[in-house]
Amino acid sequence: MDLRDLKTFLHLAESRHFGRSARAMHVSPSTLSRQIQRLEEDLGQALFVRDNRTVTLTDAGEQLRQFAQHTLLQYQQMRHTLGQQGPSLTGELRLFCSVTAAYSHLPPILDRFRAEHPSVEIKLITGDAADAVEKVDSGEADLAIAGKPESLPPGIAFAMLENLAVVLIAPALPCPVRHQVTSASPDWAKVPFILPDQGPVRRRIELWFRRQKLSHPSIYATVGGHEAMVSMVALGCGVALIPEVVLENSPEPVRNRVMILERSDEKTPFELGVCVQKKQLHEPIVSAFWKIVQERKESA
């Protein structure tokens, strides 16, 4: 068994997306398939079940995921201990992110940070992704995972993690809204929209309205938190624009009640990243976390 295969496997087990993992690990999709095949042959078990778009772990895959997570973290910890001079960091780090980001993007960064700095206490605050930059700007959090706003406050630094797709979603089960949006030429002025109350996603739906020449859209509700928007769409209340990762991390019964009407084009990606106050970057704990984010960015 090769550590690189294990790393690639773990990435795929977390992303559940061949293309994304191949890009992040700097290998071609066929190399990635070969690495997984090698592990499957070695263990004599299938690790993933694949269909057109999604990848699911088998029981053996889940066992290997746990093994890979422990092994790689222990390895990193050992490497760090061997190469470490001076005392390790102690203190507190306050992180803010959405529930979605806590599932999708925070785990590998936090695992790595914990492996290197086990004595730092992590205070995780979850909430509306749209509040992330403000939480850092106001000093309530040291670092946050955020969608990049059109303009960043002057004291804030932003390190991009990934370009996310943004999708327009509608109820998938038979209901009046589904009927409206699946007709041959929907009357968009009559379709109820669920909007985030603020933030970069709000800005995007406003641009979408403009492109559709929709000056008076019908607003069903304005809510805080992209996760809540998915639930409302799943209940048939209206349609909404959200980062696709929020849908991907919604519980399956909710996901099954939602369909994607439109996916944003690659020219207008939604930049997800980590933000911090520039003046805090010299603080040892903040700077240690920032360094890990920068390294991930380079390997993404």
**List of residues contacting ligand X2X (CB under 6 A):** 97-98, 100-101, 129, 145-147, 164, 226, 243, 245-246, 272
Nearest-approach distance from CB 124 to ligand X2X, in angstroms:
13
Nearest-approach distance from CB 216 to ligand X2X, in angstroms:
26
284: tokens are 């040892």
Closest CA to 137 of 273, 287, 291, 276: 276
Nearest-approach distance from CB 167 to ligand X2X, in angstroms:
11
Number of Cα atoms under 13 Å in the Cβ half of residue 151: 2
129 vs 237 by CB, closer to ligand X2X: 129
251: tokens are 């519980």
Nearest-approach distance from CB 29 to ligand X2X, in angstroms:
25
Q: How far is CA 165 from CA 90, 128, 172, 275, in A?
A: 37, 18, 20, 20
222: tokens are 């304005």
Between CA 238 and CA 245 the distance in angstroms is: 19
Q: Position 123: which residue type?
A: K
116 vs 162 by CB, closer to ligand X2X: 162
Nearest-approach distance from CB 1 to ligand X2X, in angstroms:
33
Nearest-approach distance from CB 165 to ligand X2X, in angstroms:
10
Number of Cα atoms under 13 Å in the Cβ half of residue 95: 24
Q: How far is CA 13 from CA 58, 61, 63, 112, in A?
A: 10, 8, 11, 17
245 vs 293 by CB, closer to ligand X2X: 245
168 vs 245 by CB, closer to ligand X2X: 245
Alpha helices of 138-248 — where are they, by DSSP H? 176-181, 200-211, 226-234, 244-248
237 vs 246 by CB, closer to ligand X2X: 246
206 vs 283 by CB, closer to ligand X2X: 206
171 vs 196 by CB, closer to ligand X2X: 196
Nearest-approach distance from CB 268 to ligand X2X, in angstroms:
15
Between CA 201 and CA 207 the distance in angstroms is: 10
